[in-house]
Amino acid sequence: MHAVLKMIAQRLALGALTLIVVSIVIFSATELLPGDLASAILGQAATPETLAAMRAQLGLNDPAPVRYWAWLTGAIQGDFGVSLATRRPIADMIDARLGNTLFLALYAAALAVPLALVLGVLAALWRNSIFDRMANAGALSAISFPEFFVAYILVLWLAQSGYFPSMVRLTPATSFGDKLYMSFLPALTLTLVVTAHMMRMTRAAIINLMAQPFIEMARLKGASPLRIVLRHALPNALAPIINVIALNLAYLITGVVVVEVVFVYPGLGQLMVDSVAKRDIAVVQAIALIFASAYVLLNLTADVLSTLTNPRLMKRG
């Protein structure tokens, strides 16, 4: 238990350091954008006096390290400031969209993870069969196509036929069943994109174990191929499978921007794109930090779980 707690503490410290570095990169990237933020907000008709007042209000006269520290400490406390475009608290804007993005990510994960595991196990069980070749060809095709291409193909096939809506309109009054129906196409798009990675990793991890001595012993005892895969190979292949599942879950949360834009889905990705168009830097910084935090947290979770499921990694750590 002491070794486990020490390993978790080390991973958390590394994650915190990574987030600090990422926050510096986010802040520096927005600082390097061309143009003056006060001028972009007030327009070309602004007088020097109003520009000076706006720069003072935004804190642009302070040195960059001071502004970074004020932004970081506010973000840690959940205070991202006020939107430059709407003058609304950024936390309220994010709160209205975060639930929708998490719902879409969980919806896609609920479809993708079981599908990938089943396909990966069957492909390993029927290695070099027609099913295995077709599954691998489908996986490679899904990996090759970008998200927007998959999304537009689904819109062409399923939305224009009238089966599902091509635009998602969610309100607080929308029922759970209606949310599932209206969000099906964006969830299916994400599912097709991430299933291929998880399926191929599951297949490869199981096949790599099929030549191990304990698998040969199970064969000699007369165990069926399905029992060998499910009872002996799959539990020992959990470390890489858990790792790739967690990484793809991180992608589902942080990589929804394109899918949300295509389907006009009211999530953080759509809000981020709208904020970039309005040059609402404060909102862009906040959403980028949230996406980075989610990605780092899920990577840490994958690292910890894959280590706990593999005693050899525990000894090495």
- Tell me if 200 sits within 8 A of 239, measured CB to CB: no
How much is the pLDDT for 315?
A: 55
Residue 67 domain-assigned? Answer: yes
String of DSSP letters for 4-39: HHHHHHHHHHHHHHHHHHHHHHHHHHHHTSSS-HHH
Helix residue ranges, H only, 80-183: 90-125, 130-144, 147-154, 176-182
**In this model, does residue 140 exceed pLDDT 90?**
no
Q: What is the CATH number of the domain that holds 302?
A: 1.10.3720.10
Residue 115 domain-assigned? Answer: yes
- Residue 26 to residue 286: CA distance in whole angstroms: 9
pLDDT range class, residue 311, cuts 50, 70, 90: low
- Tell me if 297 sits within 8 A of 15, measured CB to CB: yes
Residue 143 domain-assigned? Answer: yes
Q: How far apart are the first and last CA of the chain?
A: 13
pTM of structure: 0.85
CA 212 remoteness from chain centre: 35
Tokens of 196: 């291929």
**Which residues span the domain enclosing 1?**
1-77
Region of 43 (left: φ > 0; alpha: ψ -120 to 50; beta: rest) is left
User: What is the tally of helices (H) and strands (E) in the chain?
Assistant: 17, 0
The reply to whether 53 and 102 lie within a common domain is: no
Percent over 70 (pLDDT), the chain:
96
The reply to whether 145 and 218 lie within a common domain is: yes
Q: What is the pLDDT of residues 181-228, one digit of tens each?
A: 999 999 999 999 889 889 988 999 888 888 788 888 888 888 888 888
How much is the pLDDT for 313?
A: 56
The reply to whether 219 and 282 lie within a common domain is: yes
Residue 85 domain-assigned? Answer: no
Single residue among 10, 44, 77 that ends a domain in this structure: 77
pLDDT range class, residue 60, cuts 50, 70, 90: confident
